[in-house]
Amino acid sequence: MEKITVVGSGYVGLVSGTCFADIGNRVICCDVDPFKIAMLRKGEIPIYEPGLKELVEKNIEAERLFFTSEIGDAIEASDIIYIAVGTPMGESGEADMRYVHEVARTIGQHLNRYKIIVNKSTVPVGTGRAVEQIIKENRKNRFVKFDVVSNPEFLREGSAIEDCMNMERAVIGATSDEAAKRIAELHAPFRTRIFQTNLESAEMIKYAANAFLATKISFINGIANVCERVGADVTAVSAGMGLDSRIGGKFLQAGIGYGGSCFPKDTFALSYIAEEAGFDFNLLKSVITANDEQRFVVVNKLREALGSLQGKRIGVLGLSFKPNTDDMRYAPSLTIIPELVNQGASVRAFDPIARQAARNQIAEYYEDFGSIEETLEDCDACLILTEWSEIVEMDLTRVKELLKAPVMVDGRNCFTTQKMADEGFNYYSVGRPAVTVGSIHAVESQTLSL
């Protein structure tokens, strides 16, 4: 059993700390926000993540998981200190390192014996060395030793517990082999593949991985836009591409682009890192630009379907950047809904989880409703922005009855074109031929085993 302190009880810190506790360690999760700590002590979770509340309650009851705002005391009581604070995007796209540096100073001031300091936050290359220097400058006893480790997270919102408990790999970059071995042993119960390298490479791996996945998304969206113009179906194209083992089928789903807490921030940060290092990363800049432009594709489709958005009522389904999270950071809805209003439309919207988070940011642009039926009643068109299961499984016959006309623009390709043709919709998706009432569609593509 290790004694662990996790500084930062946001998404990454809370999930990681809870999972470390669940495999038998004593974990103290810290945060400077006393209200958040009070919530967590009562088992109330400040974020939405399936299964997290139950896992927190289980480990509080087992006396393996604790919460405090007394960060210095928690540091002194533990042997492994995880830094899991935010690194928000700065004005020029760079990662804002204020919180990481502040935690490093606090660790130095409370370094009472040998400890392993682990960066879990997504940080630029060189942060590990900077943290090492800050701790050295702030420790009261220069003879007290410590090591620094980079152990980036690869959690996906909506499946973070599964990702942690069954992680594909643990990347460990360390200032000593002994520290790397100990962190590797900490991960042993997760039965994961350990990849050990130096600090700088570990820090770069996280940025490179996220930037590459973002590139796949922007690429397939570009292919989708070409498919529409030449009569191809991007669903078939991406499926055929994915059969190539060198490419794989993940992150090849065409739509309205990526959002959330990682891809937008990390692509900007990597572009900034490259620029600071003297390299003009044009490919990555194009990925960012393509993603920004892609979300407006559905606005154009609505205008095409309705002739004009002036005076039209649009029912928007889904507000969060992806299903199974209430995260609104860089969600396409944050730009699409204001644009609809700017073009003269009125907007009604529904999201099963992210209602409050969305209201906090764009409440003045739309009416909020608690169900799909209330949202779509008497609307000129339905616009899908998030593929929640409630939306994918909704009663299309009922949807058709509620709308003034059977017009649907689907930014996530939730339905097959054949199904929507059979249901009698004018259906506009991404990278596929439009379906209009009375149109005839080919049978969906399929793979045959011979």
CA-derived radius of gyration, the chain: 24
- Find tokens 């400890």 and name the residue: 115
18 annotated to a ligand binding site: no
Cβ 168 vs Cβ 187: under 8 Å: no
175 annotated to a ligand binding site: no
Annotated catalytic residue: which of 29, 262, 379, 382?
A: 262
Cβ 94 vs Cβ 269: under 8 Å: yes
154 annotated to a ligand binding site: yes
216 annotated to a ligand binding site: no
157 annotated to a ligand binding site: yes
Instruction: Count Cα neighbours of 53 within 13 Å in the Cβ-side half-sphere.
Output: 10
Q: DSSP 3-state assignment of 449?
A: coil
Question: What is the distance between the terminal CA atoms of the chain, rounded to a whole angstrom?
Answer: 53
259 annotated to a ligand binding site: yes
Q: In the 8-state DSSP scheme, what is residue 118?
A: E
Cβ 4 vs Cβ 42: under 8 Å: no
Q: How far apart are CA 188 and CA 192, in angstroms?
A: 7
Q: Could you give the residue ranges of the DSSP H alpha helices within 118-233?
A: 127-138, 160-165, 177-186, 199-230
- Find tokens 């009070």 and name the residue: 38
197 annotated to a ligand binding site: no
Look up 382 and say whether it is catalytic: no
58 annotated to a ligand binding site: no
378 annotated to a ligand binding site: no
Structure tokens at 172: 């460990």
Burial 109-122 (b: 16+ CB within 10 A, else e): ebbeeebbbbbbbb
155 annotated to a ligand binding site: yes
252 annotated to a ligand binding site: yes
Using N-to-C axis directions, what is the helix angle for 282-294 and 263-276, rounded to 10°? 150
Q: How far apart are CA 31 and CA 44, in angstroms?
A: 15
- 38 CB contacts (<8 Å, ≥6 apart)? none
- 71 CB contacts (<8 Å, ≥6 apart)? 5, 7, 30, 32, 103, 106
329 annotated to a ligand binding site: yes
325 annotated to a ligand binding site: no
94 annotated to a ligand binding site: no
Structure tokens at 398: 């009922």
Q: How far apart are CA 226 and CA 38, in angstroms?
A: 52
Of 252, 12, 258, 50, the C-alpha closest to 159 is 50
**Backbone phi, then psi, for 10, in 5-degree steps?**
-85, -155
212 annotated to a ligand binding site: no
438 annotated to a ligand binding site: no
Q: In the 8-state DSSP scheme, what is residue 401?
A: H
Q: How far apart are CA 12 and CA 86, in angstroms?
A: 9
Binding residues for NAD(+): 31, 36, 87, 122, 157, 265, 329
Binding residues: 31, 36, 87, 122, 154-157, 206, 251-255, 259, 265, 322, 329
Catalytic residues: 262
Binding residues for substrate: 154-157, 206, 251-255, 259, 322
